[in-house]
Structure 1
Amino acid sequence: MNAVKKLRLPHYLLIAAGLLVLLSLVRVVDGANDVTSSGTVEAMLRLAVPIFLAGLGGLWAERAGVINIGLEGMMILGTWTGAWAGYQWGPWIGVLAGIAGGALGGLLHAVATVSFGVDHIVSGVAINILGLGLTQFLAGLVFNVGHAKELGGGPRQSPPVDPITKISLPVLSGGGGTPDWLGSLEKHHWFLVSDLAGVLRGLTHQMSLLTLVALLLVPVSYFVLWRTPFGLRVRSCGEDPYAAESLGVRVYRMKYAAVLISGGLAGLAGAFLVTVAAPIYQDGQTAGRGFIGLAAMIFGNWRPGGLAAGSLLFGYTDAMNVRDGGQAVHALLLFVAVLLVAVAAWQAWRRSFLAAGLAAVAAVGLLVWFLDSDVVPGELVSFSPHLTTLLVLALASQRLRMPAADGLRYRRGEAR
């Protein structure tokens, strides 16, 4: 665990480079060019951002000691309010309305848990149910009548929302009618060079401005929570609210602020779905992303950087399903098998022979599966993002440390 704590940015960049080399080898061996294509990277970002924003909302709440499993309901509120405002006044007004809708759900959660001491899980489940039922009712009431219906609205969907502007870098990614150098390199399918070009082009071609805003929230959240007095007060409420109270921190105010920010970020995730991912509100649009966001937050050990990495992992597995289906996922069997061989060697070096043996057996099983098949069944492909969620949580569970007072009831002046 100490070795993990000593990792710095150069170490993470080295790990990322090693994974890219391995992916390139897998692509060459299996011929699955979509494994590192720019289209896959673009899809990964589009699918990962709402998961990341929801998880970031969960991080803010739980750092203040409030468990927020109502993220899914807050996302749903964000999709409806974002679409309702977006089709009438433009996508950026829709984004602001989505944030407000999610923050309203966060306010309800804060009133229930912070002021009235309701169990955090019960309150979160209630908000999920409320968000789903309320938006279904409002969709039929607002989108299925009058001008909204003429524009394409219905009982379970809104009229189309104008998408947010997308940008591409000039020269490198063809922005402004300039040459697309990275695209040209990618088409050659050279080992590593084309893979790196594909990844960079996916990050710089047709990127939504809202995606850029979401990516900037990683350093912003880290700075605010770990480098400002406000962030220190929020985190102290999640670790020991009574000690924070004794030092003059207004614990109730900090918890309310964090949960409101949490709801606003979840609402922003919902607004992203209706202004970038698919510019229209539809019933069931969130598809459990709020819960996957919670899983990404746990995988990231309640820190923004780890949360972003977990979200990209889930987004990547989902992009495999969207882009090339069974062929791309089949190539990942070899990728995971090689990683498990490395895990087995590492565990053996640490003299953890049981873990090493299990990793080796799993690696052999995946390698046999890879060699004995040409494509992964469609049922498993569609389930791969959820399977990844379960596996990552199982593997990461031993190194996690949640805030000490997370989910505990706090009452001002009470003895501990």
Structure 2
Amino acid sequence: MTRIGKYHVTLIGVAALILLMSLVRIVSGQEDITSSGTFAAALLLAVPIALAGLGGLWAERAGVVNIGLEGMMVLGTWFAGWAGYQWGAVAALVAGLLGGALGGLLHAIATVSFGVDHIISGVAINLLGPGVTRFLSEVLYQEGTSASDAGAGITSSPAISSPAPSISLPVLSDGPDLLGRLENTHWFLLSDLAGILRGLTHDVNVLVIVAVLMLPLTFFVLWHTAFGLRLRSAGENPWAAESLGVNVYLIKYAAVVISGAFAGLGGVFLVFVSTKYVEGQTQGRGFIGLAAMIFGNWRPGGLTAGASLFGYANGLQLRSTGAVTTFFLFGAVLLLAYLVLQVRRLISADRPAELAATSARQYTLMALAALGAVILFWLWLTVGQLPDEFVYITPHVLTLLVLLVASQRLRMPKADGVRYRRGEQH
């Protein structure tokens, strides 16, 4: 399939998804499914996940597994909060980037230079990040210090002196609130489109725009520059790259430090949203970002889809407990669509050859899809109000289910996690 063809398929898929959401909203009566408030919340929740996922993408494309993203995000939040209350938003941004990059540098030293197992090093970073930040808070935010007088405590920093501004997109969300009025009509599809556009373009934090731009920039650098080609070659076959004159050690160091900086940027965003550092505010987003990257098959476009999915699930959970039950209806409709596509493929196949090639595994998957659709539809009809505990874990359950489905088609870089030593293998 050509690249233009892929873009067309993507646009058709997005249009079909919006149509499905509009239908589910009409059937269920849950207006929050496509409300501007839900999508504004989803955007804020998806950005730190996407930034952490980008961090994982840079490291793993160079062949270094980075499960230490959570610890690097924690370092980014603390340093952003510490610098932000003293010197403002720009200082918070720089300090957060440096804090995350420092975590990436430690991971690179351990894995690239000393050959430590990547998983062990990542776990150590995840333990080290909260420990170091707690120690620094106890030293710098103790009672009697200027930070304590400004409202800091052991578990939080003072508020940032000048938080990052928010802007609205001209024409769409600036001036007369045309999209808001159209959203309130609750018309089929039109009000849904208005709510989605308004949520994504009204009062958007500047750092959100920066984060969104990082996605196409990453794609361009990794797939359309000589540096990106060298980096990806280090993740596929570092010894072949070495034979072509690539400094694999330097490439891996650069990739992992950039990876940490992206995770730190995700931490900066969390600080900007809450206007200060708070202990534990990452809440596992580094791990979810890693899951989004795997769901996206180690590519920026798929990562964007994964982060958007997890952000939307969280946003809908925050906006409406009852609306979360519509995930059952979503799932049932998607499974039915899968069944229709599979049946259509079988009907259009040449009877003797292609039907014989259909494996028992495919028939089993179709049967499971049909059973799953029935069960999900029954749950949507019978479950009136989910328990609060189930609503809280919905995004995490969704993460596991998405990874389970996505694992059927994944292709990680061939040398991802492989210990590299110059000259050992060719």
Fold-level similarity (TM above 0.5): yes
C-alpha contact (below 8 Å) 1:170/1:179 kept by paired residues: no
Question: 2: CA distance between counterparts of 1:123 and 1:5?
Answer: 38
* Partner deviation per Cα, 1:158-199 (whole Å, 9 max, x = no partner): 1112431000124421x3xx2011111001111000000001
C-alpha contact (below 8 Å) 1:347/1:355 kept by paired residues: no
Structure 2 residue aligned with 1:337: 332
Is residue 50 from structure 1 mapped to residue 55 from structure 2 by the alignment? no
Structure 2 residue aligned with 1:365: 375
Question: 2: CA distance between counterparts of 1:169 and 1:63?
Answer: 34
* Partner deviation per Cα, 1:266-308 (whole Å, 9 max, x = no partner): 00011110012x1121111111111111100000000011101
Structure 2 residue aligned with 1:91: 89
* Partner deviation per Cα, 1:184-238 (whole Å, 9 max, x = no partner): 1001111000000001111110101100000001110000000000000000000
Please, which of 193, 197, 200 is the counterpart of residue 200 of structure 1? 197
Structure 2 residue aligned with 1:401: 411
C-alpha contact (below 8 Å) 1:143/1:159 kept by paired residues: no
RMSD between aligned residues: 1.4
Is residue 317 from structure 1 mapped to residue 316 from structure 2 by the alignment? no
Structure 1 residue aligned with 2:146: 147
The code of the aligned residue for 1:408 comes to V
Counterpart secondary structure, 1:88 = helix
Tell me the percent identity. Answer: 59
Counterpart secondary structure, 1:399 = coil
Structure 2 residue aligned with 1:256: 253
Write out aligned runs for 1:75-224 (5 A): 75-145=73-143, 146-161=145-160, 162-173=162-173, 175=174, 178-224=175-221
Structure 2 residue aligned with 1:286: 282
Shift of residue 10, structure 1, vs aligned partner? 1.5
Structure 2 residue aligned with 1:59: 57
Structure 1 residue aligned with 2:349: none
Question: 2: CA distance between counterparts of 1:328 and 1:92?
Answer: 38
When structure 1 is superposed on structure 2, of 61-70 and 139-148 the one drifting more is 139-148
Unaligned runs of 5+ in 2: 347-357
| Change over 3 Å in CA distance of 1:5–1:365 after alignment to 2 | farther
Structure 1 residue aligned with 2:365: 355
- What is the TM-score with the length of structure 2 in the denominator? 0.93
Counterpart secondary structure, 1:311 = helix
C-alpha contact (below 8 Å) 1:53/1:269 kept by paired residues: yes
Is residue 226 from structure 1 mapped to residue 223 from structure 2 by the alignment? yes
The code of the aligned residue for 1:406 comes to D
- What is the TM-score with the length of structure 1 in the denominator? 0.96
C-alpha contact (below 8 Å) 1:171/1:181 kept by paired residues: no
Is residue 385 from structure 1 mapped to residue 395 from structure 2 by the alignment? yes
Shift of residue 366, structure 1, vs aligned partner? 1.1
* Partner deviation per Cα, 1:129-160 (whole Å, 9 max, x = no partner): 00011111111221234221122110111111
The code of the aligned residue for 1:223 comes to F
Aligned residues: 409
Counterpart secondary structure, 2:188 = coil
C-alpha contact (below 8 Å) 1:103/1:261 kept by paired residues: yes
Shift of residue 332, structure 1, vs aligned partner? 2.4
Question: 1: CA distance between counterparts of 2:156 and 2:420?
Answer: 41
C-alpha contact (below 8 Å) 1:171/1:180 kept by paired residues: no
The code of the aligned residue for 1:376 comes to L
